[in-house]
Amino acid sequence: MVSVPRIIPASGLRVPPVHYHTLLTSVLQLRFGQLCKLVLFASWLISIIVGYRANYGWIWWLLPIRSFWFFLVAFPILILRKRYVHIDSLPYASLFAELKGRIVSIGFLAHWVFYVFSSSLFFWLYSEQMTDVSVKKIIKVYEPPVINERALYLFFFSIFTASVYTLFHIVFDLDKLHFPSYSMNIPPRIRIEQRLSSILYKALFGSALVSLFSPFLYLALRNRIWNSSIEFFRLFFLLHRSNAYYKFPVGLGMLADTLFSSFLLFLVWEFSNEAFSIYMSLGPLHRNCCISEKSKDKNGTLVTGIRAVKRPLTRALAFQELLYISLNQPNRRTEIYKDINREIPIWGQILKECSFVLNQVVKSTTKKFDKESSQPLEKPLTKTSATPVTVIPIKNENIFLKGRPTHSIMEGFQDNNASISKDMVNSLKNTLDNSRVFLKQYSSYRDWFFASRMGIPFRQTIQRRVKIMFPNPVLTMNAITALSSFMVHSIDEDVYGTVQRDIPVVLHELCMTMSALEGFLNSPHIHWSDIDAQRSSQLPNLEEINVIMDAVYTGFIEIVDKFGAYFEHMDLSREVQNKVRELYTM
């Protein structure tokens, strides 16, 4: 028989909220499905353009089933983007380190394989509209066929096109998602329309580049390609015994075909990459509702998202939703203010996570590139140990007996007349003098190298260092802006006063963050190889710091303007008071 306490749960227990990542995963899956539909429609349009030259009639290409093959050209790119998507800046100190770390990697090989597969499939489909591109070519009826070099060049061109775009993908880091700072309500269709001109321009530029340079590269590698192809195809076909060349495969017709086909291929790749970036960065709104509103415990689910440090995309979207709520949803703000029936109120948990973001800014500006100067603590003179003390054994030998000399080895090398020693000392002095001269020359050559154009890829610029310090400034900006917005609206919506009691703490953290950023700008961590920053009297434009600084300054001003009349009754720190006086005297 089951007892009553086992049936009725305790009133103090609360069911854990659904994790924000779980709801976000379902939303991203729906967006990925919409993305595939859009890419399928674009593939159908490409199939109509390609089928216009078909011998069996372009009407056959109007059927949607033909677009499936061209969809297979774009689908590997979507899978590739899904695998390597990220939102933080890559932590590379120099351009050379970035190229080395990204190109010499498994990721680059995976990108290259996917693009080669996509390119080979596209040119196989496009070759159906071309003439004389079969592998075997009959020169004379009574002789065995030879290898058709036009087919070899088309295969080479497909690999070359894939390699060029792979390098473009890696260098410009197309895998990174850029969340827009403007309104989150702009639908993806409008965003894609705004990017169409850029997509067409990049496709045209890329196709012209590979079409013009590919014949010269093929000409340089023609001998190796021809000989290796003959050895390979003779395993399957009966070919002519002669290994001589025939007519060069690249003419005006082939050049026009490669230009047009590569333009369509670049168009497919560019459209797929842009569409993926747009759909995956739509923000936290799904069907005009926030993602956390699908949960029964909306506020608890939102907090699980902003805590997800190991899931950068989930955390970024959760902070973006927090910003949206703080600016546009007064009812949801009121619910957060009133949600105090927990071990830690929702506002306290939100404040803790936003304070963590602010503290990360302070730590990054003060400790990121400084050498560890902390010294070990002094050990106490006496130390008690729980382990038993071992008794020192007593020696029975005579300790005053003359032992073995400790410098017997050195005495064997000493010169009694001191003539050899003087020569050795003089040679050491000459070596030290030569080393000093070499170091001076090395320093001058090193400075000259980094000041020249050849040293630009090896410079550890202040811009790259700032990106390492603040890999995701948009998340920091969202956290600061949301925190200040909640504080400002609490004067009218916070019934219990749970937010207003934390005003001194928030102002102090904003003041410390502002001081840390100002201190970094006054004495930045400039590397010795950053010649331009050392010679310039002004710092370059540091976008990451400017974004965070504007958010901190704006939030501080808004809170001061809203609660300035009540500061006499608040326990403000000395730093906050000085900063308020400084702002009011400006």
| Tens-binned pLDDT, residue by residue, of the chain (586 aa) | 444 344 444 445 678 899 999 999 999 999 999 999 999 999 999 888 887 766 555 566 667 777 888 899 999 999 999 999 999 998 898 888 988 888 889 999 999 999 999 999 999 888 876 656 555 454 544 455 667 788 889 999 999 999 999 999 999 999 999 987 656 678 899 999 999 999 999 999 999 999 999 999 999 998 898 888 777 776 766 665 566 667 788 889 889 989 999 999 999 999 999 999 999 999 899 988 999 999 999 999 999 999 999 999 999 999 999 999 999 999 999 999 999 989 899 999 999 999 999 999 999 988 644 443 333 333 333 344 444 444 455 555 554 455 555 555 555 555 555 555 566 666 676 667 666 666 666 667 777 777 778 888 888 889 999 999 999 999 999 999 999 999 999 999 998 888 989 999 999 999 999 999 999 988 888 888 888 888 887 888 889 999 999 999 999 999 999 998 888 888 889 999 998 888 877 6
The 10 Å CB-count burial string (b at 16+, else e) for 284-298 is bbbeeebbbbbbebb
**Beta-carbon contacts of residue 275 (< 8 Å; ≥ 6 apart):** 35, 38, 39, 188, 192
- pLDDT at residue 527, rounded to an integer: 85
The gap from C-alpha 267 to its chain's centroid, in whole angstroms, comes to 24
- Phi, psi (deg, nearest 5) at residue 256: -70, -40
Q: Which helix (H) or strand (E) holds 71?
A: helix 67-84
Eight-class DSSP state of 104: S
CA angle, 341 then 343 then 346, to 5°: 65
Q: Are 506 and 559 in contact (CB under 8 A)?
A: yes
**C-alpha to C-alpha distance for 555 and 566, rounded to whole angstroms:** 17
H-assigned helices in 51-187: 67-84, 95-103, 106-126, 149-171
Map tokens 């370059």 to a residue: 540
State pTM to two decimals: 0.83
**C-alpha to C-alpha distance for 462 and 447, rounded to whole angstroms:** 17
- pLDDT at residue 2, rounded to an integer: 43
Tokens of 239: 């070919």
**Beta-carbon contacts of residue 273 (< 8 Å; ≥ 6 apart):** 77, 81, 169, 174
**C-alpha to C-alpha distance for 549 and 450, rounded to whole angstroms:** 31
Q: Are 526 and 462 in contact (CB under 8 A)?
A: yes
